[in-house]
Structure 1
């Protein structure tokens, strides 16, 4: 009976697979795995996976053939333009099918022209990448009963780039600041930054958007608050006498936010009318249909995976951007579930060789990522007037090259006052060179610290091992509301 079922499945599978064209070939061949003494995936299970993929995705085939997509027969270099009345009508139609009110005005019109003319290459690229990310966005939006059009937001935020970091420190596809990410429950440490995790950051972003909409009961205000923060929106509402309408309060908002909503509307419009504007997706390397995740049980370096399975290190890094140092840390009895994203074609091979991968050691699989930051604390440093990367490096006893690496700063990139920098400082080793920590030892076991401009109790406590802001407040009989004035001395228990 089992043999008969297998025969039917194989015949049916071959028929379906004959019609199915995979997006790309596997990272490696089964022959190369066998040659290296590595186990291959079970061929019958591999066939069932391919059969399932063919049946699901052949019902909704994706094409990147411009001849098929160019329904208006435009010349490839043509940039179509439409009258204001047509653009207005199309945006009104979009509003009919969305809780978000799409508006046509001069600002939106300018943004449509900007993206439609000057950013065509970027739009084509993100249209291709959308095949990897949009199905996930749509599933989460549907689960939370939010407008599907919100899937266009990360295009405006980051052009769907998981590793991008703004000058202000906002990170990932959804551009979360450090504090917002932590508030939303995202893990951010020396090895993992879940702001860069496409799945977890998407869930956090949708949770945050739902919260903002509940606060304002207006999607444009919620989107503006996502960009500028609720505090700025509330101040703008107060300045305009309590008006709760984005277009009415826009001039009380930062310039970036004033352009944010028109940009969102322009991107949503152009992706809904891509054929009308002669826009076509660039074929991506990965689509949602040919990637999957596995749970990692032990700490693992990406080199272990690439060496054992002969796969591309670059692709593993691209699919797993949340692991900042190509290393997945797993603690003993860790309740946190860490996953690894791989092409579907490699999932079976990974599971078949899981023990070998965990135990694999060679000169290229270094323990450096584990030891390098084990005794360091992660500090968020706010740049002050007159500071340079070199001066900050001296303060924290780290190298300039390390600060540039941690913060994606090129040698040509300047830092500016107010910018937040991530520093991995060795515990209790903040230097007095070039950036003095004003204290002096006394005979009774206390240090006396001289307050500098911009200091907070939290900042000061971070400089001394085993000392908290509460410890400083109790010892000095001050409250959290106490204003720290430059030159003021506070007592700190020596450790």
Structure 2
């Protein structure tokens, strides 16, 4: 963190902590003298005060030019607050929200947010990108989670309200969806050199790109939804066309990581402009359609997505989607603060020139779990070579994109020896093919309800092998009610 940014962070941290304590004291100014808190609570509040004083120490370190130790002191203070908050929750009379409020603010400060006298021009966006050709270009990308990009003059974390829906989404990513989050992170690290430059060129935060991708596809480049959305960022066909995602030599460029990231960045910027930089409404438009969101919002683009006039009118999918994207982005920025450790991934891009004909499937068998990849390399190889059919053999001399560390593994394992022979034998195995058996007879008959019919009379006359309950269930009938002209499905008794 630059000297000036740390200095301002420290000043504001002290102010925030002081304001919280003053507010707590002010609440006691009434006609009745409050009882003093129990000793256990006083001890915890003392830890909160100690965490605040830690920033004074960090401030002195920063003034002395020791920004590295200052950052350690900042981290230690956050740990103190986190520990005290945990004990507060189990201590009668302790106000947990007092701790969580400070923790939330300090966590944002660690990201560089809430620095009141800092202008966008002073913010660090990481080193400029070198041309993405070969090892040097990929290696020039700043480390993930360390590069801060402003979103229309605001830190991304300023725009993420730590409300109920976002907290619930954080819990889901940290529990039931934890495996999905880890897979998305690994997939993204291998695609990062293609996708993030597109976002950076549009001035958008990397964490937002990760959040959208984690929710949309988990970093599976060839993902296709039931509604027809396709690619790592799940563009519908018509929307993709609007942003230049077309067919190129039979390849749908919605599946191209760089092209889809470019189109997504352009879309996000377009909608941010339409919704007056309201990120939540922009994400809702991406999921639920910009036309619907513009009709709901009208001219009041300052309205919150969680305002009942908006929130109650969007689909449940969109209600879930917005906080889930923001929660994934938040975890990308602050994994350590949520007891989360992302795996270390060497995502530097490399390439191999085939010394023998092979397919991506065969190459996956040959590479095995090299470089501690327990799930194998199939997904990564597919993502890096989206235009190739994974079952189609590629000729000698063809070039495939691979992670840089796999170049030496390929040379050692997949040019000669037993592994490429085994992979080829498995790939070329012959599976017997037989004609499909004749279709089974239709086990359902249909009956059109006539005037005067009831479900009971229909079942008695036309289906001796079933019951009213079963017919009602088959036809989703409420209260066994039928009406003239309705077509019912009845079990065939043959």
TM tier, smaller: 0.3 to 0.5
- TM-score normalized by the length of structure 1: 0.45
Structure 2 length-normalised TM: 0.45
Using CA pairs under 8 Å that are at least 6 residues apart, name the structure with larger relative contact order, 1 or 2: 1
Bigger radius of gyration among the two = 2
